[in-house]
């Protein structure tokens, strides 16, 4: 189409409500997928401005550093209000616009329920928007250009804090070191003895150990060292039993 500015199509778009959710929940999967030749982007819904430690400005730099470790094609922030965003038309339209912009087959997003109430609300917002994005009568614009409808094939929710039973797990054994590296880019959020800020649930040294322990526990379920776990509301179909046999234990 004349004058239409098309953004690079991505295979996977990973959403997190707070910068660092993606690193904690699905960065191993992102690293593995990029190594397999997939194009991946990250979208943060908020700037995490209500976080006890750090500030929105510092977290922006931290998120950019983590994006480099992950090797993602794009990282954008929708600048919704941390803690107060809603799953309503206004917010759904923002998510629809970004989905139509990058046209991913797969969306990764927050857990359907979690310790932080923003996570469950974000999960529902992204899931609803992913469906609505496929309806051509919902008109959205990028600049003055009308966007084409686009429905991702799957929305997968990464298990982050609360342990939920996974519908499937993704082997990230080879990428655990870089997953932790990406998490540690958030210098103000996690364990950092040099920092004079209040301690929080996630800033204790035990928290990072728990992230590793969780990945080990999920990996053990399929006989590998580390894995990330996912919940899907849609049944996953395969064309060959090889998909299962590769990971049989």
Q: What is the binding site for Zn ion (CB under 5 A)?
A: 18, 21, 116
Taking the complex as a whole, the smallest distance from the CB of residue 82 to Zn ion amounts, in Å, to 9
Of 79, 14, 7, 4, which Cα lies nearest the Cα of 41? 14
Taking the complex as a whole, the smallest distance from the CB of residue 160 to Zn ion amounts, in Å, to 7
Task: Please identify, using beta-carbon distances, which residue of 18 and 214 lies nearer to Zn ion.
Answer: 18
77-107 burial string, b = 16+ CB within 10 Å, else e? bbebebbebebeeebbebbbbbbbbbbbebb
Taking the C-alpha atoms of residue 34 and residue 222, their distance in angstroms, rounded to an integer, is 22
State the alpha helices, DSSP H only, in the chain: 21-35, 56-70, 89-102, 117-132, 176-184, 205-220, 242-245
Taking the complex as a whole, the smallest distance from the CB of residue 195 to Zn ion amounts, in Å, to 19
Taking the complex as a whole, the smallest distance from the CB of residue 184 to Zn ion amounts, in Å, to 17
CB 179 within 8 A of CB 227: no
Task: Please identify, using beta-carbon distances, which residue of 116 and 179 lies nearer to Zn ion.
Answer: 116
Task: Please identify, using beta-carbon distances, which residue of 115 and 153 lies nearer to Zn ion.
Answer: 115
Nearest residue to Zn ion on Cβ basis: 18
């Amino acid at each position: 189409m004349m004058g239409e500015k098309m953004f690079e199509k991505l295979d996977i778009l990973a959403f997190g409500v707070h910068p660092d959710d993606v690193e904690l929940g699905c960065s191993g999967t992102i690293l593995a997928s990029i190594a397999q030749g997939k194009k991946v982007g990250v979208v943060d819904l908020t700037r995490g401005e209500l976080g006890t430690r750090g500030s929105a400005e510092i977290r922006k730099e931290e998120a950019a550093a983590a994006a480099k470790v992950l090797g993602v094609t794009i990282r954008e922030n929708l600048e919704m209000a941390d803690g107060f965003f809603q799953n309503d038309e206004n917010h759904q339209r923002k998510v629809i616009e970004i989905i139509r912009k990058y046209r991913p087959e797969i969306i990764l997003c927050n857990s359907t329920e979690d310790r932080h109430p923003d996570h469950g609300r974000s999960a529902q917002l992204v899931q609803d928007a992913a469906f609505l994005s496929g309806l051509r009568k919902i008109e959205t614009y990028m600049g003055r250009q009308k966007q084409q409808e686009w429905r991702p094939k799957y929305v997968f929710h990464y298990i982050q804090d609360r342990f939920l039973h996974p519908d499937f797990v993704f082997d990230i054994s080879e990428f655990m070191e870089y997953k932790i590296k990406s998490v540690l880019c958030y210098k103000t959020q996690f364990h950092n003895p040099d920092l004079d800020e209040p301690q929080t649930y996630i800033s204790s040294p035990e928290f990072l150990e728990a992230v590793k322990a969780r990945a080990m526990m999920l990996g053990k379920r399929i006989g590998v060292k580390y894995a990330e776990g996912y919940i899907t509301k849609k049944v996953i179909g395969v064309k060959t039993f090889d998909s299962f046999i590769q990971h049989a234990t």
